[in-house]
Structure 1
Amino acid sequence: MVSLIVCHAEQNVIGFRNKMPWHLPNDLKHVKRLTQGNTIVMGRKTFESLGRPLPNRRNVVLTGNPEFAAEGVDVIHDVAEIEELDGKVFIFGGSGVYRQTMQLVDEMHVTRIHETFAGDTFFPDYDMAKWELVSREEGTVDGKNRYPHEFLHLRRRMD
């Protein structure tokens, strides 16, 4: 099963200048809980924005650059190789990787922030009619999590 995990704001903004334009610890905990012990697939720019492999996960970088190598990550060069990866696989971003892999995805874990941010990187548009809502949970807004948000678990409709 190929899953996708993303946090996006209104207008599908996911980034600005190769960084997330918000700080939302609730989402970071959510991502950690879902992805630990599994495989995450990301593009080179996303990997470089993280600065290091995320612990307790298999980190896979999808890149067209045959010279790319980094300690602690596996490298693939074709989207088709994702289906050959063992275990649960999460598409982790960024925008180009999301666009290239949407047709492979069986389910999405979406943190939707109900706020507008300046952005230069976007999650592809998706038609909610093609996805079944498995669960929805309101995120807690507090001193550390300033933006209203929700966690959605969506499964691709088979009809």
Structure 2
Amino acid sequence: MITMIAAAAENRALGKDNQLVWHLPNDFKRFKNLTTAHHIIMGRKTFESFPKPLPNRTHIIITRQADYQAEGCIIVDSIEKAIEKCPKGEEAFIIGGGEIYQLALPFSDKIELTVVHHSFEADAFFPEIKLDDWELVNSDFQTKDEKHLYDYSFETYIRKQKTPQQ
């Protein structure tokens, strides 16, 4: 199963200058809980935004740079090759950035989305979800507090099965 996991604002903003534009500790905890012990697929810029590789995960980096190296990581040049590197029958996660999410959307079975209830100036955006293709199966609204400056919701979408007439 291929799952896209992201935090995006109401205007689909993901971040600016390769950084998140909000800080939501509970979103980080959820990300860690869901992705630990799994393969995670990301673009080179997303990987380079981390101070070090994320622990207890297999990193697959998509890049056009033929000579790119990152110790302990799998390097590929397409979303298709990244998916091929993931164990069959196990959940793998697409973790960004914006271009990678767009490429991965047709291959994805599930979306774990944290919606930040605010709009931000950004240079990277999450792709638009066509609700004809996706079913919202869970939504958990969280109110802002002393550690979270914005209201947010954890949402889970599952790709709808096509019927023969579609």
Coarse TM-score class (shorter-chain normalised):
over 0.9
Structure-1 residue corresponding to 2:150: 147
Q: Which amino acid aligns with 2:34?
A: L
> Is the partner of 1:99 in helix, strand or coil?
helix
Structure with the larger helix share:
1
Q: 1:102 aligns with which of 76, 97, 105?
A: 105
Distance 1:78 1:117 in 2: 29
Structure-1 residue corresponding to 2:54: 54
Distance 1:122 1:83 in 2: 22
> Is the partner of 2:14 in helix, strand or coil?
strand
Structure 1, unmatched stretches of 5+, are none
Distance 1:103 1:109 in 2: 15
Distance 1:58 1:139 in 2: 30
Residues 140 and 72 from structure 1, CA distance in 2 versus in 1: closer, same or farther, beyond 3 angstroms? farther
Distance 1:140 1:107 in 2: 25
Distance 1:52 1:107 in 2: 27
Of 131-140 and 147-156, more deviation after overlay is shown by: 131-140
> Is the partner of 1:50 in helix, strand or coil?
coil
Q: Which amino acid aligns with 1:93?
A: G
Q: Identical aligned pairs, as a percentage? A: 36
Q: Deviation per CA, 1:5-27, whole angstroms, max 9, x where unpaired?
A: 01000210001111000011011
TM-score by length of 1: 0.95
User: How many corresponding residue pairs?
Assistant: 159
Runs of 4+, deviation exceeding 2 Å: none
Distance 2:144 2:74 in 1: 37
Query: Alpha-carbon deviation of 1:140?
Result: 4.2
TM-score by length of 2: 0.92
Q: Deviation per CA, 1:77-123, whole angstroms, max 9, x where unpaired?
A: 12211332113210010011111111000000000000111111111
Structure 2, unmatched stretches of 5+, are none
